[in-house]
Structures are given as C-alpha cells and as structure tokens.
A = this chain, B = another copy of it.
Amino acid sequence: MDDSNIFAVIIAGGRGTRFWPLSRTARPKHLLGLNGPDPLLRQTVDRVLPLATAQRTLVVTMKSHADEVRAVLNGIPAKNILVEPVGKNTAPAIALAAAHVLDAGPDAIMAVLPSDHIISPPEKFLDDLREGARLAASGNILVTFGIAPARPETGYGYIEVGRKLSGKAFAVNSFKEKPNRKKAKDYIGTGRYLWNSGMFVFRAQTYMNMVKEHLPALYALWETYRNSPRAQDDLERYYAGAEGVSIDYGVMEKCRGSVAVVSAAFQWSDVGSWDAIDEIWKADAAGNRKQEGELVALSSRDNTVVTKKLVALLGVENLIVVETDDAILVCKKDRAQEIKSLVEEMEKRGLTAYL
C-alpha cells in the first residue's frame, strides 16, 4: 500500500482550562509547547508529515484560535485549515474533514488525530498508523489505537480487546467509559484492556457510511454541504443544524462489530492536566522539576515549577507552581484535576481577563 491516499485530520479544539494559567481561552493546550519550544499542534502535524504531506494535512479548529493556528502551521496550505463557526463536538468536525478528503476519491483514508497529545518515537507511531491504514483500506472498518495501560488510570476510556485480526490489530469487544479506580484495576488485571487514545484511521467513505446509518440527520446536512459551493454560508448552515455529538458516542460505540484496535508500540501521553507534566519532564535527585531558569530547593521534594524566574522552595512537597505575566498558580499535585473549578470560580467572580 502506498501512502498517497492517506490524509491527516487533526482536531485542534479545547477550552484552555486544564493548563491554566499557561493555557487560556485564546491559547488552548495544543498551542503550548509543554515538552519543548514547539506547540503540541505543530509537533502533531510534523509527526505525521512523512505520511500525509502538507497537501494532505487538514486541521479543524475554532474561529477564536484560527489566526494563531495558521501562524503555527506555516507551510500547511491555508485552505487546509478548516474553521468551525461553532463547536459541535467531534462527529460533525470529522465529517466536515471527510467531505474534503473524499474529493480525492472514494478510497481516501483519513487518520484522525488529536492535536495535543505527546507521542514518541515518531517512527513507531508512523509504523502503527500505516498498519491501521492497511486494515482500514481493506474493508468497511474503523480502526482505533489502544495503549497498553501503565497504571489504573481513571481519566481514560478503555477498549476491551477481542480476537486477533493481523499483526498488532485486534477486534474490539467493547468500549468502556472512564472507570472508577476499582474497575480500572480489574480491567488491568485481565490483561485484555487498552487505553482508548482517541486516534482513528478509516476510509472517509466508511466513516460517512456509519454516520449515515447512526446519525442520519447529520448525514443529510453533510450531503447538502458536500454538494454545495462550500462557501462560508454553506459551512454555517451545516454547523447550525448539526447535533453536537462525539465520534466515540455517536459512531464508534454503535459500530463495535466494525471496529478494530491497533495495540500501539509507541509511547503516548495525553498530558491531561498539570500533574501529567511529570511524565515528560525530567526530575532532579529530589524529584523537583523545572525546565528553564534557576531552582533553589531546601527540604523540598517532588515539586513541578513552570516559570523562567528563579524559584526558591523551602519545606514544600508535591506542589505545582506556575507563573505567567498576570497570574500565579500554586496547587497540590493531587488536586490538579480541579483546576477547572478554579477557572469556574474566576468566571463567577468576573475575572475574565485572566481566562
């Protein structure tokens, strides 16, 4: 199989709350360089470029981020940046991209990739993607990517793996929503579960066939859009009518029998909140992490600090400290999931300039 009918469809959304105060409404996680100078979105595009090329890379993003996305994706044709007039979750966004991908022919394949995950090494990622694409090309099948669980994580969905199809590809017995800790441990104990990475590969036509079956109203809107001049008006009409539903709930779960999972050989993190930074930043001997600028720590362990300024720590443990031009966050690591509550509190108090 040659790569020339594989498109990358990168979903660049996000509200910018989980990495506050670094992420903001106008600067969501995919525009941050959490593991280096390049924004995660740019890294995502570059990672898949050997497979998809710039011409076959599509990015779906929000109006409020479009200018910065275009600036970050210097080299990607402007027409490939698809700007949603309003957010309607992933199923309609992926259908929008499918309309454009299908212009290349009925066998065109799309790799649907979140824009804000950290993945390495790129070679293994591309190998797995190609394996998924081969499987997707072979029939009416939706391919997802599963990650061997490293811990009983409660923040991810799980995929129950069925019979082997080929190489690292398996049938999917079931999708499981984010479990509680006990369930997560049970899943891991069986050895038959993978984390759901939220990445997919399929023929655009296959996806739209599934949409036609399970989301017929969306399909009708989409068909109208596809056959229209695809002007701004047409796009707005499509989004105005579209039901906001995710690909997971709207399509994947309803098509279990037609879904395969590739067990990934690459390292993966969705860096879901500040505490996940510890998976990607190196710690010093005391477990403290800081990427740039000086750190002076006495009797202090396992803290993660984000600022260019010198930081002095004295007698503190398991803190996240983040400084930006206008705000400072000091947070216990085990509370990092609650940063969205802080953001809600700021909204309530009208502190919108900080969001």
| A interface residues (Cβ-Cβ under 8 A, vs B) | 20-21, 294, 296, 298-299, 303, 307, 309-316, 319, 321, 323, 326-332, 334-336, 338-339, 341-342, 345-346, 349, 351, 354
Contacts and interface: CB of A to CB of B under 8 A. Distances in A.
B312 A328 contact: yes
Contacts of A319: 316, 330
B328 A314 contact: no
B327 A310 contact: yes
A134 B217 CA distance: 96
A323 B332 contact: no
B345 A316 contact: no
- Select the residue from A20, A294, A312, A351 with max chain B CB neighbours within 10 A: A312
6 contacts: A296-B345, A310-B351, A310-B354, A311-B330, A316-B319, A330-B330
Contacts of A327: 309-312
Nearest to A331: B314
B299 A315 contact: no
A296 B330 contact: no
A330 to B, nearest CB: 5
A145 B336 CA distance: 50
B326 A323 contact: no
A14 to B, nearest CB: 19
B328 A321 contact: yes
Number of copies of this protein chain within its complex: 2
B335 A309 contact: no
Contacts of A307: 328
A71 to B, nearest CB: 27
Contact of A314 (B296, B312, B342, B354): B342
Contact of A339 (B303, B314, B321, B331): B314
A332 B312 contact: no
A332 B298 CA distance: 11
Contacts of A316: 319, 330-332
Given A307-B328, A319-B330, A321-B330, A335 B296 contact: no
A328 B315 contact: no
A303 B341 CA distance: 19
A165 to B, nearest CB: 45
A313 B298 contact: no
Contact of A296 (B294, B303, B351): B351
Nearest to A313: B330
B338 A328 contact: no
A296 B349 contact: yes
